[in-house]
Each structure stands twice: as C-alpha cells, then as structure tokens.
Structure 1
Amino acid sequence: MIKLSTFFRRRLMGVCVLVGCNSFSLLLAGEYNIIPYPQTLIPQSGSFTFNKRTTVYCPFNKPEVLRLARQFSAHFEVVSGIKLAMADIANANRKTNNAVIFQPEVNLENAEAYRLSISANAISIKASAANGFFYGLHTLYQLLPEAIYGKKLVAGKKWSARAVEIKDSPRFAYRGLHLDVCRHFFPIAFIKKYIDAMAIHKFNTFHWHLTEDQGWRIEIKKYPRLTEVGSKRAETLVGYYYDRLPQAYDGKPYGGFYTQAEAREIVAYAKERFITVIPEIELPGHAQAAIAAYPYLSCKQDSSVKVATKWGVFKEVYCPRDTTFKFLEDVLTEIMAIFPSTYIHIGGDECPKDRWKTCPDCQAMIKNLNLKDENGLQSYFVHRIERFLNSKGRKMIGWDEILDGGLDPNATVMSWRGTQGGITAAKAGNDVIMTPGTYCYFDKYQAEPLNEPTTIGGFLPLKMVYEYEPIPTELTADEAKHVLGAQANVWTEYMPTAESVEYMVFPRLSAMAEVVWSDKATRNWESFRNRMPSEFNRYEQLGIKASKSFYEVQFQSAVTADKKLQISLSCDCPNARIHYIINGKTTVYKAPFILSESAEVAAKAFIGGKQRGRTITKSYQLSKLTGLAYTQNQQGGWYDGGNSRALTDGVPGNDKVYAQWVGFGKGRDVELVVDMQSALKIEHFSVGMLNAPAMCAQISPEIKLYGSTDGVNYRLLAEKHFTPPTSPDKVIVRPVFTFTPTEVRYLKVQLRNANYCPPDKLENAECGVLFLDEIGAW
C-alpha cells in the first residue's frame, strides 16, 4: 500500500482535477478498495472516526430510507459495540458534525445514483431514492474496516473511513446474476446469502432458473405432481459427462423444491435489497421433469418418461397442443402471482424437434398455420406464450433462440451463444441482455484445470471476465441503447453444494460487478487487482468460500526462434513473489526463462511471505519437432487443440479437458507431415493419443512413420499395432517408436482410425474420433 503525506496528497489532488483521476486512482487503489469502482472518486485528506456520540440523521418521513439507516445503526453496534443515536434529518443543520447523514437529493441522474462525502466531521450520503441510498451505504461499508461484514463484536478496532468525495451511478440499468437450482438444489438460506452478495456488489437482478429436465423446483398448486414427481430424480450422474462409457450413477434419489411461500419470502428478501427476481420457466424444451409428472404434455404421451438423471439436451419437449398451452398458462398465472417482475423468462433454448417431426398433431398444425417447418412451429409456440404474458401486463425474456422466426418489439433477448444474437436483436429494435458464454458463464474453469474441481469445460479466468465489454462494436450509438446490461450465468451440473457454487462464482462475480456498474473509461485491470486483496478479506468475513486462484501462478509458454520453450509466470495478486522448481531446484522468478529440454515445472506464489494458493505444476515436452508447422490431411474440427501448432507446441494434453487435444473425426485416417527445415538424425518418435469411449474416441490400431530427405520419396522408419485399452474411463497412451538412427528432413506419420462407434454411444458423441496431442522426435 502506498502511503502519501498530506502535502503530497493535496498536490496530487490538484493534478487529478486538471488531468483526470484514473492514474491517481491507481496510486490510491490500496486506500479506496471499492468494488465496483465509482464513476468519480476524489480523495480527501483525513478520515471520519465513529465514537459513542456519533449520530445517524435520516428522513423519518421516508420509511425505506429510515429502514436502511436503522439497519446500518443496528449492525454497526453488533460489530463495533458503539450504539449510534438516531435523529430526524429535519433537526440537522449545516453545522451538524460527528454524524452520518442520509440527505435526500432530487437532482441526480437516476434512482440508483448517489453521492458520498466523507470528511473528518461527517459522512453524507445523498440520493433521490432508497436504492441510491442503499448503494451509497454499501460503498461506505467498503471504506470501513472489513470487520464491518462480520457478525460478531470486534474489540479494540478503530472504526474510521478515509475522507473522499464520490459521485456514482451505474453504467447499465440491468445488472444480473443467474442461478440454476434444477441440476442441483440449494436451500433458502443459501439463496439469501447469494442475494446478499449480489447486493454488496450492486447487482439488481436475480435470474432464478426454476425448471429443467433434471428437476422442477417451484410449487404449482394446480399441478401438484410437478413437485410430487417432477422435483425428484432417481439418481445423478457421477463425474464429468464424457468421463466414461457406460456412464456411472450414484444410485441416490435426489430432490427438492421451493414452496410458494418460500419463493415469496425470497422475492421480499431481494426487494429489500433492491433486487428484482426474474423466474425462468423453461419451454418448449428442457421439459422432461414436467412431462414425467404429466405425460400428456408430450407428443408421445409416454408414461415411462422419468425425470432426467444426467445432463444434456433431451428429446422430450412440450407438444404444442391446446392442452399444453392451457397447462403453461395456468403455471405462468401462478408464477406471476408470486413474482411481480416486469419480465418472465421463458427459456426458449435447445429444443430438439425430433418428436414434433413424427407427431401427427404437430404436422397438422404446421400445415394449418402455414408454417415453414418445425422451427416455425417453435416460433409460433414462443409467440403464443408471449401474447399471453403481454395480456397480463408482463414482458417476455428468452435465450437468443427466440429470435428464430422473428420477435415482437417488446420481447427482450438474452444473448448467450456469443454476441451475434444480441447484435441482431438490437439492430431490430429489441432490448438485449448480453450474457455470451465466452465471458459470462461461471461454470467454466477459472484456473489450471488439473488443479480444479470438474466443470463443464472451457476456460474463463478472472481477467477475462473483467475485460469483457457488453456493447458490441458492431452497434451504432442508437442501437447500443437497446443493450440493457449484462448477466453472469451459473449452471450447476458440476456444483453439487453451496460451497461449490461460491467457489465457482467468487471472485469472478467481483469482476462482473465492475463490468456492469463502472464506466468503461474507469475500468482498469491493474487498479482492480490492487483492490482485490481487500475483497478477499470481505469474502472471509461473509463466510464466502471463494476460489484462491487469484493467489496462484499462471503459466504461459511460447516457442522461441531456436525451437526452445520460453516460460512466463504471473500471478493476479500484485506484489506476489513467485518461486518455481525444476528437477528439485527452487528459483525466484524474475523474468521469463528458457526450457531446452522436457521438464515438469512447479510454481507457487508468496504474498507477504505466505503462500495463500496452491502449488501449480505444468509438464512440457520438447523435441526436434517443437514449434514446427505441419500439414494434415483433414481438419481437427470442433477440437483443434487451441492453436494451429497444437501438436508441436510443447504442451501435452491431459485427461481432465478435451480442449488441448486435436480431434479427427468421422472415422477417417489421419496423415501428418512435418518439415524439420534441415536434415536431422533421429531414432525415436512419440505421439500422444486419448482413448475416450464416451467420446467414441479410440487410439489408432496402426501407426506408420516414414522419413524423407526431399519430401517426395519416403521410406518406412517404424510401425506399430495397438490394442485399445479396455477401461471404460479415459486413458492417455504415449507410445515411443525406436528405430535405426536415420537422417531425414521430412517426417510423415499415418494413423489408422479405428472408427470406434459403440452400440451404447452417448447421443451427442460423434463416431470414429481420433484424439492426438504432442508429437515428438529425437
């Protein structure tokens, strides 16, 4: 933390007024650790210190503001032991000091704006509405000792806040956080804790995902079987979806739902924190739990359909009959009686059309309504539900698939499959909430996958969240006005407990808070990372079990001109001292270093002399092929290894994530050719292969290696035949070929594809995949 003398501080304040506060804010990041960062912050000298004579002044004639003031006073007494007197602001005057003043102010930008002024004499919060006072109060909390977030008396603490002038209001009107309670169910106490964390970070919308294939989680009185049957599944998939074949299950019944009284309790709890709860009732897809309860809702009306026990997308969807629409209208009527939100989320995503294609009723409807196809039928389905919601004074919001077939002007699109859905909707005049999976899905890995709990895949570290910009560059200024804000989504297939949700959400929630609240011009990664250590202290006080990846080492590798590997190490936490270990030797990291041979590198970060995170280990493989380009007879498709030289980048794949592997599919054989740039003597060759039955991926049964000096005439150097592993789990195989030392410039490797396609293959798996990673020669 940088300490500034009063004189120096005043000089810098003068400079700040002339040239702007961004650079100065960086200097003072250790002193004003506010997240999300305010629009304008001007440091002042001195600080305000609470004592037994401090008085809280507020307008007694404004019940919501009075409630906030009383809550602050009561909580402050709990943690500090200081009882603050309460007084009506009507009795205050300009000379009032030793006070916390809640001052109504009509001339502010909007209801969420506030002004916070702290001097040695008083603290003043100005706002035009209760939510503005609420946000100003939470900024004040962040300027007090972190113990303010605790629940117990802290003896001997000096309760003071550094002097400052803050003008603040949100960049976006919609600042959302989502929670899927269907894949895994969470108790009311945790939902409240989740909402509290949202409020602290100035989020104002809680998207509550309540229905799914794996469970229906909200009581509907007219249809009791939705919870009697639909809230329970017989068992749950164990491990990652593609870990093994056949898949494994825990054999334990799983269930849970919220009563309407509990849902109302959550709505009221959120409202007190100025958070709107938007319920999501999925349709027409993701409906298997409802269909298990009421089979007539499906096209086949099959009573054998059960609540889904694994993750994914299922063929059992609502059939667009009048009986189904009557059911959905009844459900939505009860939902609207619980949730007063303007928006009702109807899902609209991932709806397979298999059942509709073979359903006589659906085909007749397509013909009678003069629809083009089943996609047109989904558009009709969504429009019909939208008209019903509109007739009740509500607006529909849905995932970006609702764009298919066109939208009414008052429908709002949640853009999750990238940004294009949001761009299309905004250009058409529809409001948009940006939530692209690349930046906003908190179910992805946030740190080195080998060290992390299993997730759905992908990679979204803290910095990547922070650097997300919700306004696409493709939009004009007028079109950009339709972007209401952004939302982080928390899908819980691999988050079975409240603790696992916290681990995945924090600290990324703090980064998203700044994305949706702070002006683009005031956001600065260096400033943010300097403020984060205080944020972790708040997490601790709040009992939030956040990921500690902020305190862990990150690895970057790059191939040098002489085909060695340059390793760069970093840590999000500022001033971390990094130690790395190679072959048992520990070195203090000062600059990128070179690996000239294969090695395992372990690294750990020390903050203030203590290691707060885990030791991270990475393996690297170097050979005469490292960094070389190669040609291949087919493209890797969906799995491309992450870069154009994934097979020679020196980074072996692992059995935790598929993204590092190059996948060659459709049963086709693979041929790779590498030009080593000059004739080199080699006598060994290796290739990494992944045997993954759940992905229909089997190792090559036959590999042949050829060498050439001219790239035209090749001769066989070695060949091997392999029997695939019999394990149902993923297995990595790295065979080494040894042959007579030979001088060649070109290497050609041919791998026969086993075209593996088991009869019990998973629905989404593509037959005949060959997964490869690092190839090497020496």
Structure 2
Amino acid sequence: MQRKRRILTLICCTFVAAVAGCSKPVSDSPATAATTLPVSIIPAPRELTRAAGQFAVTTSTPVVFENGSPAEATARYFIDLMQRTRGMALTARNSDASGAISFKLLADEGTPDDEGYSLDASPRGITVSARSPRGLFYGAVSLWQLLTAEAPSAPGATTIDVPALTITDAPRFRWRGLMLDSARHYQSPQFIKQFIDVMALHKLNVLHWHLTDDQAWRLEIKKYPKLTEVGAWRVPAGPAAAADIDPTTGRPRVYGGFYSQDQVRDIVAYAAARHITIVPEIDMPGHASAAIAAYPKLAVLDNPPRQVPADWGVYPALFNVEESTFGFLQDVLSEVLALFPSEYIHVGGDEAVKDQWKASARVQARMRELGVKDEHALQAHFIERMQAFLSNQGRRLIGWDEILEGGLAPNATVMSWRGIDGAVAAAAAGHDTVLSPQPTLYFDRRPFDTPSSPGRVEISTVQDVYAFDPAPAVISEQQRKHILGVQANIWTEHIRTPARVEFMAFPRAAAIAEVGWSHTKDWAGFSERLPAQLERYRVLDVRFAEAPLPRPVDPLRRSSHEMALCTDKIALSLEDDAPISGERAVFKVDIMEPCWLFKGADLAKANSLVAAVGQVPFNFQIGDAVKQIPLHKPATPAGELEVRLDDCKGERIAVLPLAPAVKNYAVTTLPSASIAPREGIHDLCFMFTRKSVDPIWVIDSIELKTDAVAGTE
C-alpha cells in the first residue's frame, strides 16, 4: 500500500538537512515558469541545455517505436512505469505520429555496448535515441524522472508538462554497482527482483551477489546437493533461538533458505532485461565454514564442525589445497558459469586467516609439492588456479584486495575495500580495479544516528557517499584507465529484514549512482534533486532512510543511543535476539567493553533510578581480541548493573541486581534503586559485572525518578 505523501519542501528541510544541509530551490516566477519547469534527474546528465517552451504529456500522447525492434521493450517498459507510478495509461504505436514520445535506435556505428543516449523535448514532442538498447533504456529512465519531478498538481491529474530541453548523456564509469549480502540473511527472490527494479531506476548496472560465506551457502549446486541441504541453514545465535523448538524435529528451529537454479535463471534474466549484470561471489579460500559443514573433506582440520555457525566475524576455516578440493571448486564454478553469463566471477579472497594452513603438516607438505614459499604465496597459487580455470571458460576473475598478497594472477581484477590502497596498487601494476572502500561505501554503517536501525555505530551519510572520489589524485592519469568504477556494499550481519536492506541502501544508492555516472559533482544541485527522488521511492513503495524530526533530549530519561559509550572499540547498534517474532529492541553497545555514560544528569531532586536492560549473545569471531574484554567480578551469581558517579572509577552510588532479567531474553525493567540526591550536574557511568563475555548485558534505557520509592516498581 502506498505510503502517505509529504510536502517535498518538508522532506528537504528534515531529511537532507539532517544528513548534511540543504540548498532550497529557487522558486520560478510566473514569467519564467514555462522555461524553468523542474528538472530532477539522478544521476545528473552529462549535458543539459534548456530551450523555450514545454511539451504537455497527456493520456492521449502516443508512445512510438518500431514494432519488433529492440526499442519496443524499452518503450513498453516506459509505458508500464508511467502506469504504475503516475496512473497514466499511454498508448503504444508503431508508426510515426505528431505530438508523440518516440524511442529510436540509431545506426550501430561500431559501439553496440555504448550506454549513452540523447533526449530531445520540444513543444512538438519528445524523442529518446541511442545506439544501443542499454542507452535507450537509460534515456527512458531519464524521461520518466522528468515526468515525476513534481508530485501531481491534483489527484487524478492527466497532464504533465515537460520543459523543452536537450540532454546528451553517457556514464563516467562502466561499473556502477551495489553488493547485496544474501549469505548472512536470506532475501526472497521476489525481493531481489524489487531491488533490481530500483537499481535500474538509478542507472546502476552491476548487482554483486554475495551468495556464500561462513554462515550460509545460498546457491543450489546440482553435483553437490548438501551445499544447500546442510549449508543453507543454521540455528541463530542466542538462547532465544535455542529455545525455539521445531515440533516436527524436536530440535531448535533453523533459519535460512537458498536459491534454486531455476530461480537464479529467472532473476538473471529479469536483471538483464533492465540492463543489470549479476556478478556472483563464491568465497574462497576463506569464509568456507558452511561449505565445510556440508562436505567435511574440504576442510584443513580432520574433524571440522558439522553445523553451519551463527557467529559474525572472521572464522579461521579455510579450504584445504588438495587436488580434489580444486576439482570441487571447479565443478561448482562450472555450474555457476552456466547460470551467470557475466564477464566477471567474484571469488572473494578476503580475510583468509592462515593459522590452519600454518599448523597443518599436510598443507605444509603440499606447499613444498607446489613450490610455494609461504602461506600468502599459497593463497596466490589458489587464486591463480581459479583465474586459469575461469580464463579458459572465457571469463575473468575479480576478488577483494587481499588477492594482491603473494602476487596477483594475470588478468585478475581487484575490488578495493580496505580503503583505496588496493586500487592504487592494482592500477599501478596494470590491473583493473573497482573502488568499494569502507567505511564510506559500506552501507552496514548507519546513514545517520537513529536508535531503530541496527548496524555499525559508525555513520556514513548521503553526503559522505557523494563526496567519495573514485579517481583520487594518487592514481595517475595513465593508471586511471584501469578504474572500472565504484560499488557500495550492503553487508547484512545486522540487517535482518528486507525492509532494513532498503533503509540502508536508499537514498545513499542515489549518491553512489551519481558518483559513478556523472562527470561533475554538485552537492547543492544533488540536494535540490533528492526530494523528488524520495517522493519516487514513496510512490514505488521503497522504504528508505528518512531522518526523524529532531526532538529534545529528556533530561531524566535516556536510551542507550542517547548516551555516550565509554569506549569505541567495536561499537554496534545491535538488535536483540528476542522475541523470535515481532519487533526487537536495538541497543548501542561496544561489545569489547559494554559501558555507558549518562552525561549531564541533574541529581538535585532524583531519589531513584530505573534501568531497562537486555542480554544478547556474544556471537562474534574476533580471535585473540576476546581476551582483552574486561570482566568485572559479580557479587551475585547473576551479576549486577553498577552506577558510578562522574566517571567509571568514581563512587558507586547504586547497584541493580540482574537476577530478574536472567530468564527473560527480551528487555527487562529492573526494580528501581535508590540514590541520594546531590547538588549540581553529574555524569553517571553504567557498567555490568559478569563472569563471562557471553551474554553481553546491554542497556535499553535509564530513567531518573524524582518521586518513586526504591524497590517498589
């Protein structure tokens, strides 16, 4: 159901200002309105020239194309889009007509893959032309945006005025992508298609589909059915999931799903019709836990875990380097190639912790057999084997920037995520590269400070994304020819639902689309065009990140998001693991040191304190760093929440036992604790005592009471 619309000016002042400020559009005077009708196209066209006059599009305006030509598909897509988003039923015609919208494919001229287009609008009609179906499609998207630059002037309006103008447009980069992680959390095929639909309306052209990882294997492989029979399912972390017993099995209910090969073919064809290439990722040699749970012979260890794990982070599990394992991976890739016609196949290559290889006598013997000097060189050999296989099949390998370590396989392409250094090194060595650096282009970072959105506490705003430079000065002009483009990544460890995927993707995807397409940057201009894009999201029923209206902080009550963290080591906006169904609380916490500061508390009249707390599983693979987590000795078996004055080493002014919360997996409001009134403004430090790192006790909210009697709530 379409969401309630709001005035575009209000959107600009609340949302855009919240992320980085908003330049208010200049109002048109009546004398100039005809030539200054709004032009709100994202990404911004390369060249746009206005002319005098306008063209009125009505329900009687014909849409003309050559019947049976490639232009027909684009014209009919445009007609359907106008029907769905403006309720305007345009008529298709296959012969020229006056006062028409025409879609024309020009002579090939030897550039069939050209993405450029021209759009000419005059008082006599509109013509969209291009040398390729892809370019014509992008011209149709721009025309649709011209026709949706404003909300309808009245319900059921049947006329839309388009300003007279000429657009000559083509993209800056050939790779303009989003990565969607479907391994950590599964999204339905229908959602994947909806996501592709919205990508297409931004002229994004690559969906990097992350299908395998430690926590799941999502792609059906006919030769190895256990990859999905076993590898696609896991029991979520935490006691709430462990207590959720499936009556058919008598065991904890498993979570997951996978994509059948028929579903994948359908999704790939759906994307291709919208000129989006799907690049699959099959992770290797690390992030292999789900595959190893399905087929233990792939492991380095003799007795690897037989269940798919549920922790986030980096597991030490690697594929072994036996010839049989290389054969397995080539079998998998053979089926992948049959499903995905993309030029590139992504093999991961990141975060491959070498401890198991170092400790394995068999792996060390294989290294000697293969003539490689160390574990980094072994990974390089691994990637080279995959590159050679893909090259023989007419495909190209792409991987995260760790594939540079130990030497890079010929013709391999580097996706730089650890800043831009990988891109710089790849380009300098003559390798193509895609820039996708954290934190700016990692959309698991929150778009603004919001208490309801799980993710990393670190913020990457729309303006941060827009400001990213895909061709930094450190890359020479000669080397810049190796920059294929840009990509933003949606990692879903903390993005459990499709609604949150959209929330984290949009409108930042609009910013990365303009970064990848447009040849110049204009933040003020983008800010003026963004409100119309947000209105299009509403019409399309796309959930997006809209900053809430600011509200004053309650001096007596703070949520965890309204308090400061004592440290910022691994700070997360972390969703509760309970209840199993329904809304869950979201806590701000540093998992390395759960500690909060209630700053500026007026204790002059407060005589008690109420805390709402939760407990979440410590499901994080952080290696030896776990030993650095401080544990404060509890006075009781369940532990306590301690309150200290001014700082975390100050006077302890209250203790709240955790016993009432131990058996409740969701949020518990603890009995209030009395505090002695004190003059002045003070900071309060809150920390938990506990015997172990699991569970992580967290604060949902703290409230100071001025009239409550301690122990009665």
The alignment's TM-score, normalised by the length of structure 2, stands at 0.75
Aligned to 1:40: 47
Ranges in structure 1 where 5+ consecutive residues have no aligned partner: 14-27, 239-244, 555-579, 584-597, 602-615, 622-634, 642-653, 666-688, 707-715, 742-750, 772-778
1-structure distance, mates of 2:650, 2:162: 74
Aligned to 2:526: 528
2-structure distance, mates of 1:640, 1:292: 30
The 3-state SS of whatever aligns with 1:258 is coil
CA deviation string 1:636-695 (max 9, x = no partner)? 784699xxxxxxxxxxxx993346x99699xxxxxxxxxxxxxxxxxxxxxxx9999947
The answer as to whether partners of 1:504 and 1:547 remain within 8 angstroms in 2 is yes
The answer as to whether partners of 1:347 and 1:398 remain within 8 angstroms in 2 is yes
In the alignment, is residue 80 of structure 1 matched against residue 88 of structure 2? yes
Aligned to 1:656: 587
Closer, same or farther: CA 104–394 of 1 in aligned 2, 3 Å: same
* Identity among equivalent pairs (%): 36
The answer as to whether partners of 1:655 and 1:731 remain within 8 angstroms in 2 is no
> Given residue 435 of structure 2, which amino acid in structure 1 is its aligned partner?
M
> How far is 1:81 from its partner?
3.2
Q: Which moved more, 1:101-110 or 1:261-270?
A: 101-110
> How far is 1:719 from its partner?
8.4
> Given residue 180 of structure 1, which amino acid in structure 2 is its aligned partner?
D
Aligned to 1:193: 194
> How far is 1:161 from its partner?
2.1
Closer, same or farther: CA 354–122 of 1 in aligned 2, 3 Å: same
2-structure distance, mates of 1:740, 1:220: 67
2-structure distance, mates of 1:99, 1:378: 55
Aligned to 2:444: 443
Aligned to 1:104: 106
The answer as to whether partners of 2:178 and 2:487 remain within 8 angstroms in 1 is yes
2-structure distance, mates of 1:509, 1:6: 35
CA deviation string 1:532-590 (max 9, x = no partner)? 221122112212122222xx346xxxxxxxxxxxxxxxxxxxxxxxxx5477xxxxxxx
CA deviation string 1:570-619 (max 9, x = no partner)? xxxxxxxxxx5477xxxxxxxxxxxxxx7889xxxxxxxxxxxxxx9985
> How far is 1:448 from its partner?
1.8
Closer, same or farther: CA 108–40 of 1 in aligned 2, 3 Å: farther
Q: Which moved more, 1:363-372 or 1:271-280?
A: 363-372
> Given residue 130 of structure 1, which amino acid in structure 2 is its aligned partner?
P
Aligned to 1:566: none
> How far is 1:720 from its partner?
8.6
Closer, same or farther: CA 697–31 of 1 in aligned 2, 3 Å: farther
Matches within 5 A, 1:328-407: 328-407=329-408
> How far is 1:163 from its partner?
2.2
The 3-state SS of whatever aligns with 1:281 is strand
> Given residue 218 of structure 1, which amino acid in structure 2 is its aligned partner?
L
1-structure distance, mates of 2:406, 2:185: 33
Aligned to 1:546: 544
Ranges in structure 2 where 5+ consecutive residues have no aligned partner: 1-24, 245-251, 573-584, 596-610, 619-625, 635-641, 680-684, 700-713
1-structure distance, mates of 2:60, 2:158: 17
Aligned to 1:468: 468
2-structure distance, mates of 1:637, 1:545: 30
2-structure distance, mates of 1:164, 1:617: 52
2-structure distance, mates of 1:338, 1:538: 33
Aligned to 1:140: 143
> How far is 1:98 from its partner?
3.8
> How far is 1:338 from its partner?
1.1
> Given residue 145 of structure 1, which amino acid in structure 2 is its aligned partner?
T
Structure having greater relative contact order (Cα 8 Å, sep ≥ 6): 2
> Given residue 656 of structure 1, which amino acid in structure 2 is its aligned partner?
F
Matches within 5 A, 1:91-170: 96-102=98-104, 104=106, 111-145=114-148, 155-170=156-171
> How far is 1:56 from its partner?
3.1
The 3-state SS of whatever aligns with 1:49 is strand
> Given residue 46 of structure 2, which amino acid in structure 1 is its aligned partner?
Q
2-structure distance, mates of 1:301, 1:256: 28
Aligned to 2:419: 418
The answer as to whether partners of 2:561 and 2:587 remain within 8 angstroms in 1 is no
> How far is 1:32 from its partner?
1.1
The answer as to whether partners of 1:57 and 1:99 remain within 8 angstroms in 2 is yes
Aligned to 2:483: 483
> How far is 1:55 from its partner?
3.4
**RMSD (CA atoms):** 4.6
> Given residue 496 of structure 2, which amino acid in structure 1 is its aligned partner?
P
> How far is 1:83 from its partner?
2.2
Closer, same or farther: CA 354–159 of 1 in aligned 2, 3 Å: same
> How far is 1:255 from its partner?
2.5
The alignment's TM-score, normalised by the length of structure 1, stands at 0.69
> How far is 1:115 from its partner?
1.2
1-structure distance, mates of 2:650, 2:264: 69
Aligned to 2:494: 494
Aligned to 1:69: 75
1-structure distance, mates of 2:657, 2:406: 47
> Given residue 657 of structure 1, which amino acid in structure 2 is its aligned partner?
K
1-structure distance, mates of 2:668, 2:482: 49
> How far is 1:382 from its partner?
1.5
2-structure distance, mates of 1:736, 1:38: 63
The answer as to whether partners of 1:54 and 1:100 remain within 8 angstroms in 2 is no
> Given residue 133 of structure 2, which amino acid in structure 1 is its aligned partner?
A
Aligned residues: 620
Aligned to 1:537: 535
1-structure distance, mates of 2:187, 2:65: 37
> Given residue 81 of structure 1, which amino acid in structure 2 is its aligned partner?
A
Closer, same or farther: CA 432–699 of 1 in aligned 2, 3 Å: same
> How far is 1:731 from its partner?
11
Closer, same or farther: CA 33–248 of 1 in aligned 2, 3 Å: farther
1-structure distance, mates of 2:377, 2:468: 34
In the alignment, is residue 31 of structure 1 matched against residue 33 of structure 2? no
